[in-house]
Structure 1
Amino acid sequence: MLTVHHLGKSQSERIVWLCEELGIPYELKRYTRDPVTMLAPAEYKALHPIGAAPVITDGDLVLAESGAIVDYIMAKYGEGRLVLRSGDPDFAQFLYWFHFANGTLQAGMGRLMILNRLKLAENHQMLAATKGRVDRAFDLVDARVREAEYLAGDIFTTADIMVGFSLTTMRYFQPYDLQRCPNVVKYLGRIGRRAAYRRAMEKGDPGMALILN
């Protein structure tokens, strides 16, 4: 049985969402963050040497890293859904946005979160450069969803699942004002109307307010 070990308010929501979109059987095990440190509890850290979310188990397999987990689930259970093939004209877009999620957007927001916690001066060179990089990343997403319904084009794919966390729940940790990104707000409206997304968030983080604007 595929088991999703979900740490509240974390990238593991991507995996719960993916399973709901695919409609595959899975077991969900929820873990609560330490109320003081906001870090994963000891039992979650014990699942995998890296000690971070997400983690899945599937039989004897223990796998971490959200991108790797998405690829694994799609290869084993996806049956060709939610991905584009090499012959599709939007295949390169699909690949780009799938990897943009953790390669650029999430990484930039994570660095900005850490720098903000250091209480640096507003004009600190590194802080200013990182803010600028995050702004450019959001601007790029905004431009893409102005011209396309979803990140890979006309259809919803795993690229949307990967990027979705950074645009929504990650803003609990690193706030970002979307007033400058009206197309992202409209895009998140489309995401928020997906039944699978709503089911996933209610199962994984019941009662958590969704940041969709």
Structure 2
Amino acid sequence: MTLILHHLETSRSMRILWLLEELGLDYELKTSQRDPKTMFGPADHQKLHPQGSWPLIQDGDLTLPESGAIVEYVINKAGAESWRRTPDQADWPDYLRWMHFAEATLQPYLLMHLVFSKLPKQAPAMARPIVSKVKEGVEGFIINPKVELYMKMIEAHLTGKDSFLEGGLTGADVMMIFPLESVFARIDDAGKKYPNTKKYVQGIHGRPAFKAALEKGGEYKLAPLQD
């Protein structure tokens, strides 16, 4: 039975679409658009799974949300040994670290950055000066220092590399690409501050499989990363 990927435009599910293209698995793509006002996906998506989130895959009787879980499932289904690491391999801890770092550590601060960037415009006119001050405070004392700390670490790690682990792309790269795309889309001067990381992201965006995913997946505002 063909695997089904439920994809939402400009979302985490693009990395699953990219992975499917890289591994050459047969799949059916079902794409949803965001509401232009709320930016949410269709509410009836929750009928497929109570979590109501994207990406979501269906494979026979299985319905599975969560990017990390889907990445592991797809790699195992494809038997793509080079795209994963196992406990008997020396770099397995690094694989686990980057697989989880993407969503557990970096992405929450990028989401906070996105939310706080929108608050002043959405606040009542009289409250905007106060909301703007709160935004500046949270960004200055919490969000920006953390993002800069993590990005400096990533920038150093990617020096002279085109993948997070030695030996080529793995599930760790699939997980890391979305938050890194978000950094370059939303953080001022990120391209100048983090040239190694920018080169890494552009390298992935230039891959035939990623280009194929972009063609099939509809609007994706985070790619390709320009010079």
Fold-level similarity (TM above 0.5)? yes
* Match 1:200 to one of 213, 216, 225: 213
* Match of residue 16 from structure 1: 17
How far 1:83 sits from its partner (Å)?
A: 1.1
Q: For 1:144-180, what per-residue CA distance to the aligned partner results, in whole angstroms no more than 9, with x for missing partners?
A: 11143311124111111111011125755x4453221
Instruction: State the one-letter code of the partner of 2:48.
Output: L
User: Which residue number in structure 1 is paired with residue 32 of structure 2?
Assistant: 31
2:157 paired with 1:144: yes
Which has more helix, going by share of residues?
2
% same residue: 35
1:108-152 Cα shifts (integer Å, max 9, x gaps): 211222223333326415652111111112112111111433111
Which position in structure 1 is the counterpart of 2:177?
Answer: 164
CA 1:192–1:73: 2 relative to 1, 3 Å: same
Select the structure of larger CA radius of gyration: 2
Instruction: Give the Cα separation in 2 of the matches to 1:128 and 1:206.
Output: 34
Contact 2:102–2:179, Cα closer than 8 Å, also in 1:
yes
Alignment map for 1:97-112 (pairs within 5 Å): 97-112=98-113
The count of residues paired between Structure 1 and Structure 2 equals 212
The aligned amino acid for 1:152 is L
Alignment-mate amino acid for residue 169 of structure 2? F
Aligned-partner SS, 1:152: coil
Q: Which residue pairs with 1:118 in the alignment?
A: 119
Q: What's the Cα RMSD here?
A: 2.2
Q: Which moved more, 1:126-135 or 1:29-38?
A: 126-135
Corresponding residue for residue 134 of structure 1: 147
Shift of 1:46: 3.0
- The answer as to 2:76 corresponding to 1:43 is no
Structure 1, 73-82 or 26-35: larger mean CA deviation: 73-82
The aligned counterpart of 2:95 is: 94
Tell me the SS of whatever aligns to 1:81.
helix
Q: Give the equivalent residue in structure 1 for 2:53.
A: 52
Aligned to 2:196: 183
Q: Are the equivalent residues in 1 in contact too, given 2:9–2:220 (CA < 8 A)?
A: no
**Cα distance per residue 1:66-122 (max 9 Å; x no partner):** 011111222222342311233333222222111111111112211222223333326
| C-alpha distance in structure 1 between counterparts of 2:71 and 2:182, whole Å | 18
1:185 and 1:51, CA in 2 relative to 1: closer, same or farther beyond 3 A?
Answer: same
Aligned-partner residue type, residue 83 of structure 2: L
The answer to whether the 8 A contact 2:182-2:222 is kept is no
TM (normalized to structure 1)? 0.89
Amino acid at match of 1:58: D
- Secondary structure of 2:210's counterpart equals helix
Q: Secondary structure at the match of 2:164?
A: coil
Unaligned runs of 5+ in 2: 121-131
SS of the residue corresponding to residue 168 of structure 1 reads helix
Q: Residues of 2 paired with 1:207 and 1:117: CA distance?
A: 20
2 CA distance for matches of 1:70 and 1:5? 14
Q: Which residue of 1 aligns with 2:64?
A: 63
Change beyond 3 A, Cα 1:123–1:114: closer
The Cα shift of 1:190 comes to: 1.6
Deviation at 1:41, TM superposition (A): 1.3
Q: Which amino acid aligns with 1:191?
A: I
Q: Which amino acid is 1:143 matched to?
A: A
Distance, in Å, in 1 between the alignment partners of 2:15 and 2:222 is 16
Q: In 2, are the aligned partners of 1:139 and 1:181 still within 8 Å (CA)?
A: yes
